């Protein structure tokens, strides 16, 4: 059974994960408006990952004897100065997500909640991938600038595919 502090912290993170999905959908719309469908697709896939993360946490809270309580999700920004600025904002956001996941793990360890600590380790590893992914694209965007290379990078980013993972053991 989740202690109240852990349950509340996970519910707050569920909101944050949904907000992350909103942020990346907003970035997808920004890129689509700028005529960069590959960038838009990349962000759309990123939004899907974040919504999957929220669902994974939602399921865990209920399976662990807690109650998932959905909260109001505020509107994200909708415009950036450039593709580089959007990816910088995304990377900064992922750094904040990492900090939040680490804080969740600290709470689980404080309460000797080994099951939740084990559950959260997947997210710790996932954040390494998330930060690396944004850093890689940001580096490429910086290399190509606003010139013709942006067209080629758009094609590369458009090849990204997100497939919802199959339900894990115990999840329906």
Domain ranges of the chain: 4-157
Q: What is the mean pLDDT of residues 35-61?
A: 97
Topology given in CATH for the domain delimited by 4-157:
Ferritin (1.20.1260)
Return the HEC string of 94-111.
Answer: HHHHHHHHHHHHHHHHHC
Other Cβ atoms within 10 Å of 87 Cβ, number: 24
> What integer pLDDT is reported at residue 34 of this predicted model?
96
Please report how the helices 83-110 and 37-63 are oriented relative to each other, as an axis angle in degrees rounded to 10.
10
**pLDDT band at residue 172 under the 50/70/90 scheme:** very low
Give the whole-angstrom CA distance, residue 140 versus residue 145: 8
Comparing CA positions, the residue from 19, 2, 160, 7 lying closest to residue 97 is: 19
Answer yes or no: is pLDDT of 166 > 80.
no
3-class state of residue 16 by DSSP: helix
pTM (predicted TM-score): 0.89
Q: Which two tokens stand for residue 137?
A: 């694209």
Confidence of residue 125 (pLDDT cuts 50, 70, 90): very high
The yes-or-no verdict on residue 131 having pLDDT over 90 is yes
pLDDT reported for residue 160: 81
**Residue indicated by tokens 């202690």:** 3
Would you state the pLDDT for residue 169?
47
Using CA of residue 131, residue 95, residue 109, residue 64, what is the dihedral sign? negative
Tokens of 68: 């998932």
Mean pLDDT of the chain: 94
For tokens 């329906």, the residue is: 172
Segment 130-138 mean pLDDT: 97
CA 127 to chain centre: 8
pLDDT at 168: 54
* pLDDT value of position 62: 97
């Amino acid at each position: 059974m989740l202690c109240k502090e852990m349950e509340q912290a996970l519910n707050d993170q569920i909101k944050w994960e949904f907000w992350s999905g909103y942020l990346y959908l907003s970035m997808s719309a920004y890129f689509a408006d700028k005529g960069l469908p590959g960038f838009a697709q990349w962000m759309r896939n990123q939004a899907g990952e974040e919504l999957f993360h929220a669902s994974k946490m939602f399921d865990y809270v209920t399976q662990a004897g807690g109650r998932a309580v959905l909260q109001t999700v505020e509107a994200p920004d909708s415009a950036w100065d450039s593709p580089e600025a959007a990816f910088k904002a995304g990377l900064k956001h992922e750094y904040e997500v990492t900090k939040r996941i680490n804080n969740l793990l600290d709470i689980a360890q404080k309460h000797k909640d080994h099951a939740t600590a084990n559950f959260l380790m997947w997210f710790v590893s996932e954040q390494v991938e998330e930060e690396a992914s944004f850093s890689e694209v940001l580096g490429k965007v910086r290399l190509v600038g606003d010139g013709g290379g942006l067209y080629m990078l758009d094609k590369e980013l458009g090849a990204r595919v997100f497939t919802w993972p199959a339900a894990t053991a115990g999840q329906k």
